[in-house]
Structure 1
């Protein structure tokens, strides 16, 4: 009997350790090296977008956390934010990766004050050493489009639950929790101030915990007690990144259907838009028949 229970305990421990190893992908978590953030299926679609006839100049000033939510905790007050505060960096990264960098020219605006101060320093230094012959700096690029929006909602504990069972002192249980992150973004024309596209995306965040335990008398005066388990929580910042990636992808599709811009391969682009609308179950966007509204590169 003792050997049988020991085998069960060993099997539970092995399963838990194997699950932890498969989650981390490493034998020793303490020796984990930094890695490039892995791509999501949405990111792969975004990067594989066919190119447009010409790149679009776009700027991102901010992409803030508009939820006002702190990290949820049932026991103590936590003042850490529930979602990342680096939404603008994720938005810039997604724009840069669209179509392998062939869709957007992203102009620096997040660190605009630092950029202007550095340009002023260059001009002052050149003027001091070169006098009237100082070389002027080339003009900065200006964007025809602005990307606005932010992380607009975080709903914690949308779904919670669990299941467990015990038999003769041997058992286990599984608990799970579901949160949701919502991102909203819009593209605005710099020349007219008109909102050209508006997209809202939602990503679900899952947390799962698994526990196994043994509580058994192996003899009259000997008690065997053993516990093992692991918990996996999907990183919230990766959920935000995937929601932003999908938002940029949907923005491109919406702009194509509204005739604001197009793919270089018009027929292939139309098929891609139709596939997106049917796959995401999105209703058709209003079409702008005025050809003068089509976004062109800044002159």
Structure 2
């Protein structure tokens, strides 16, 4: 269950108020709430879904030659539902759009100069559209031949293979003279696997597994104390921040594509157009891998 924000509230009660005063106070609070309800909610304009790893993919140098790949999908293999402490939530724990995220990541590598992606997830729609074109051309005696479909030399298989909730939790709180506060955090983890498979032989040429931590934090404070003999001040407020699961899965898939490019270049599956620049990137990748394995910490890591 995601951590929910606490909304600020304040109340100051006096046992000596008359019924008229209480009615006046209720009317004042109601009018205040009505005024707040008329205010527009915070609206942000739509933005491109770009992550720090997106920039790493786009900044990669181009290859010596393009590589044609097919993506038939990138499924959720966890079978898990959203964790909830109160209700049985039927929503899935992770996104079901992994295939679209994988294609987007492939198209970002070297700004689209590395992979040519053949559409396969929507293949039935594509074949039906081509059939409609053939039928229309035959009806109007148009003998212009259709271009052949792009075929791939390799397929990208895999999926979201693990989702673990509450792998780590922490918290701290304190209270003194009716004034206190507390902070807590939790860590979930999502894991993806990506495999490069040869179409002609069926051999798995490379396989990478990426784990991504998903953080949720909450900070809240409250006051409860007597301001006079018959008056109580009660105040509470807080804020929470939850990393979107879709954003975490996107970063994990992008990191898997980046690792696949690096390891494929290292084993000779493909080559950088600039060997010197490619060698430098490979050395940086190896150093980052060694650092991740030596001191694992929350974030994106390669297994």
TM over 0.5, yes or no? yes
Separation in 2 of the partners of 1:143 and 1:29?
48
- Aligned twin of 1:229: 238
Partner of 1:32: 44
Q: Find out whether 1:177 has 2:177 as its counterpart.
A: no
Q: Report the counterpart of residue 59 of structure 2 in structure 1.
A: 48
Question: How far apart are the structure 1 equivalents of 2:48 and 2:279?
Answer: 33
- Separation in 2, partners of 1:268, 1:48: 12
Alpha-carbon distance, 1:105 to partner = 0.7
Matched, 1:87 2:98: yes
* Aligned-partner Cα distance in 2 for 1:48–1:201: 21
Name the structure 1 match of 2:288.
Answer: 279
Stretches of structure 2 lacking an aligned partner (at least 5 in a row): 1-8, 11-39, 293-303
Secondary structure of 1:281's aligned partner: helix
Q: Report SS of the residue matched to 1:138.
A: coil
- Aligned residue for 1:217, secondary structure, equals strand
Instruction: Note the C-alpha offset of 1:160.
Output: 1.4
Q: Please give the alpha-carbon distance, in whole angstroms, between the structure 2 residues aligned to 1:66 and 1:124.
A: 40
Structure 1 residue aligned with 2:124, among 99, 106, 113? 113
Alpha-carbon distance in 2 for matches of 1:33, 1:269: 38
Distance 1:31 1:209 in 2: 22
1:29 CA displacement: 4.8
- Secondary structure of the corresponding residue to residue 96 of structure 2: coil
Offset at residue 81 of structure 1 (A): 0.2
Q: Deviations over 1:125-164 (max 9, x none)?
A: 110111xx52121111101110000000000011112111
Q: CA deviation at 1:54?
A: 1.3
1:187 and 1:211 map into 2 onto residues whose CA distance is: 47
Give the Å deviation of 1:175.
1.3
Give TM-score scaled by structure 2 length.
0.81
| Alpha-carbon separation, structure 2, partners of 1:260 and 1:270 | 15
Aligned to 1:67: 78
Structure 1 or 2, whichever has the larger Rg, is 2
Is 1:58 the counterpart of 2:69? The answer is yes
Q: Residue 15 of structure 1 corresponds to which residue in structure 2?
A: none
Stretches of structure 1 lacking an aligned partner (at least 5 in a row): 1-8, 11-27, 284-299
**Larger relative CO (CA 8 A, sep 6+): 1 or 2?**
2
Rounded Cα–Cα distance in structure 1 between residues aligned with 2:239 and 2:282: 42
2:170 aligned with 1:158, yes or no?
no
Hey, what's the Cα distance between the residues in 2 that align with 1:205 and 1:59? Answer: 29
SS in 2 for 1:30: coil
